[in-house]
Amino acid sequence: MLSTVRRLSRQDTLGWIGLGAMVGHPMALNLFSKTYLAHSKQPSGTDIPSFVICEQDEGRAQTFVAALKDRGGTELAARVERVENGRSVSQKASRIFTMLPNSPQVESVYLEESTGILAGLRSLPTDAPSLTPLSPIHDDSASHTLLIDHTTLDPSVAKRIASTTHQTTSGKVVMLDAPVSGAGTVAASAGLLTIMLGSPSAYATTLAMPLLQQMAREGGIILCGENGTGIGVKVANNMILAINQIALAEGLALGRSLGIDPLLLHSVIDTSSGQSWSSRVNSPLPQVPNSPGFRNYQGGFQSKLMLKDVGLALHAAHEYDLPTPLTWAAQSVYEAVCAEGEGEMATKDFRYV
């Protein structure tokens, strides 16, 4: 346990599960610090939120609290309590965010019978303030429990967990899928992410927006539809990105073989029909300043994560009998990249391809 300050009520507490260094840590840092600083500027007597974190890695947890202290001082850091599982988080917080590696971890954190988030919700008194039935005419938004998952996972799993949550709690708890996109750690740290939101209702969206805005760029929260559509958009987007990156790499390699200056070819691509986000924003060429190649492919979106997302796209396409020959080919390419150097390249930026 890290907190030594007076605990506020559950409805005044935010929780975060998963403090991965790439995105989870900077997202939670922005959410907690901006929320704290905004409330601390309110008139005297206004309750300042408390925070709960669940992170199995001791080093990550301590690093996060130290970063909070740098942002908001000792008082902010002292408002953080570390707990051991999702059950404990949902017993202590009414606004819970998760950023986890993949589908099995999300299923476990939410649905595990004894330690999951739903287990904690079931243990609360039925008349708990944050377990009142949701209503679009209910003005007290603080009285409702909100679950927001930022994980990039199987869309069918996201839908199933949301459905189970809503049914188990009789609509007293709402869950939204909110995967993120941008430029990896850089955008997450700057609070400039794009968030793709799948929400069960307009009212649930209203509850989530002020919190999500602490982590997103201006205009960067995109309402995609009902539960599962946010993650569906993310998976489809990354499927296209994965293929585009390979096409760019192959085109540049062909140009080099033909004796064409790489920067010249790159500039022509960027002003011609071959342009894409990959060429325009995140060039793989080491000669382009501030590009992934210029940074020796350190940081950014790791190749193993792109491989995971390609797998999610293939699984989703298979469920609907969609032919995806280019995506299958892309999967084999990223598998080869991740195996290179005895797996060392798996952690390189995927533009290494």
Residue 11's SS3 state is helix
Q: Is the pLDDT of residue 230 over 50?
A: yes
Lowest model confidence (mean pLDDT) among 22-26, 90-94, 133-137: 133-137
- Rounded to the nearest integer, the mean pLDDT of the chain is 90
Tell me which H or E stretch contains 261.
none
CB atoms within 10 A of CB 249: 16
Pick the catalytic residue from 234, 304, 308, 348.
234
CB atoms within 10 A of CB 307: 21
Q: Is the pLDDT of residue 141 over 90?
A: no
Q: pLDDT at position 349, please?
A: 87
State the pLDDT confidence band at 137, using cuts at 50, 70 and 90.
Answer: very low
Listed residue (22, 44, 47, 20) closest to 36, CA to CA = 47
Q: What is the mean pLDDT of residues 60-87?
A: 95
Phi-psi region of 155 (alpha: psi -120 to 50; beta: other; left: phi over 0): alpha
State the pLDDT confidence band at 136, using cuts at 50, 70 and 90.
Answer: very low
- HSE-CB at 203 with a 13 A cutoff on CA atoms is 17
Rg of the chain in Å (alpha carbons): 22
State the burial class of residue 203 (Cβ atoms within 10 Å of its Cβ: 0-12, 13-18, 19+).
middle
Q: What is the mean pLDDT of residues 281-301?
A: 85
Cα 18–chain centre separation: 10
Listed residue (52, 63, 61) closest to 89, CA to CA = 52
Q: Is the pLDDT of residue 282 over 50?
A: yes
Q: What is the mean pLDDT of residues 193-202?
A: 96
Q: Is the pLDDT of residue 84 over 70?
A: yes
Lowest model confidence (mean pLDDT) among 100-104, 150-154, 177-181, 187-191: 187-191
Percent of the chain surpassing pLDDT 90: 73
Percent of the chain surpassing pLDDT 70: 91
User: In the structure encoding, which two tokens stand for residue 150, read together?
Assistant: 């930022």
Q: What is the mean pLDDT of residues 273-300?
A: 87
Residue 223's SS3 state is strand
pTM, two decimals, is: 0.90
Q: pLDDT at position 80, please?
A: 96
Instruction: Determine the Cα–Cα distance for residues 143 and 148; give it in Å rounded to an integer.
Output: 16
State the pLDDT confidence band at 39, using cuts at 50, 70 and 90.
Answer: confident
DSSP string, 294-323: TTTT-SSSBHHHHHHHHHHHHHHHHHTT--
Listed residue (143, 145, 151) closest to 17, CA to CA = 151
Domains along the chain? 10-227 (3.40.50.720), 234-352 (1.10.1040.10)
Which pairs from 284-293 meet CB under 8 Å and 24+ separation?
Answer: 284/245, 284/248, 284/249, 284/252, 284/351, 284/352, 284/353, 285/252, 287/262, 287/263, 288/263, 291/351, 292/349, 292/351, 292/352, 293/351
Q: pLDDT at position 21, please?
A: 79
Q: What is the mean pLDDT of residues 83-87?
A: 97
Residue 131's SS3 state is strand
159 assigned to active site: no
Instruction: Determine the Cα–Cα distance for residues 81 and 90; give it in Å rounded to an integer.
Output: 13
CB atoms within 10 A of CB 136: 9
Higher pLDDT, residue 132 or 276: 276
